[in-house]
Amino acid sequence: MQNLEFKDKVVLVTGGSRGIGRAIVERFAQEGATVWFTYRSSKGEAQELEEKYAGKVKGFQGDVADATAMEELVNTIVKEHGRIDVLVNNAGIARDNLVLRMKDEEWQQVIDVNLTAAFRLIKFVLKPMLKQRSGAIVNMSSIVGLTSNPGQANYAASKAGLIALTKAVAKEVGKRNIRVNAIAPGFIETDMTASLPEQVKKEYLSNIALGRFGKPEEVAEVVLFLASDRASYITGQTIVVCGGLYSG
Judged by the rule CB under 6 A, the positions of this chain that interact with ligand NAP are 14-21, 38-42, 63-65, 90-93, 113, 140, 142, 185, 187-188, 190-193
Minimum gap (Å) between residue 65 Cβ and ligand NAP: 5
Minimum gap (Å) between residue 193 Cβ and ligand NAP: 4
Minimum gap (Å) between residue 116 Cβ and ligand NAP: 11
Q: Could you give the CA distance from residue 238 to residue 162 in angstroms, rounded to a whole number?
A: 10
Q: Which is nearer to ligand NAP, 14 or 166 (CB)?
A: 14
Task: List the helix and strand counts (H, then E) for the chain.
Answer: 10, 7
Minimum gap (Å) between residue 8 Cβ and ligand NAP: 26
Describe the crossing of helices 19-30 and 216-227 by its angle, rounded to 10 degrees: 50
Q: Could you give the CA distance from residue 62 to residue 91 in angstroms, rounded to a whole number?
A: 11
Q: Which is nearer to ligand NAP, 51 or 229 (CB)?
A: 51
Q: Could you give the CA distance from residue 129 to residue 105 in angstroms, rounded to a whole number?
A: 34
State yes or no: is 53 an active-site residue: no
Which residues are CB-neighbours of 32 under 8 A, at least 6 positions away?
A: 4, 5, 6, 7, 8, 9
Residue of 39, 53, 155, 233 marked active site: 155
Q: Could you give the CA distance from residue 190 to residue 188 in angstroms, rounded to a whole number?
A: 6
Q: Which is nearer to ligand NAP, 156 or 178 (CB)?
A: 156
Q: Which is nearer to ligand NAP, 109 or 132 (CB)?
A: 109
